[in-house]
Amino acid sequence: MLIIDCPYCGERDETEFSYGGEAGIARPQHPESLTDAEWADYLFMRSNPRGPHRELWNHAQGCRRWFVAVRDTVTYRFSETAALQAGASGDAE
């Protein structure tokens, strides 16, 4: 079992959280001008690195707030979590 440190509530069991995908994916500024291939790239293509990875997480069974976490994709260890800034897409520091 993993313990995740919610920046709002503190340490909680992993079962309280939902994964939200890779952090820092910016929505296209002019979506009406994108081709089907560009939309597919935006929606489905992710970096999928081996090692530390910035991700969005939601404390679904707690405060229900979103935050950014750095998780190692090999060991699953969370090395840091941070509050998600209003209007950000995972670029919180």
pLDDT tens, position by position, 13-42: 999 999 999 999 999 999 999 999 999 999
Domain ranges in the chain? 1-25+42-93
Tell me what percent of the residues of the chain surpass a pLDDT of 70. Answer: 91
SS (H, E, C) 14-60: HHHCEEEEECCCCCCCCHHHCCHHHHHHHHHCCCCCCCEEEEEEECC
* Whole-structure pTM value: 0.82
Residue 41: φ, ψ to 5° = -60, -45
Question: Which residue in this structure is represented by tokens 């935006």?
Answer: 42
Domain 1-25+42-93 of CATH type 3.90.330.10: no
Residue 64 CA, chain-centre distance (Å), reads 14
pLDDT for the residue numbered 90: 56
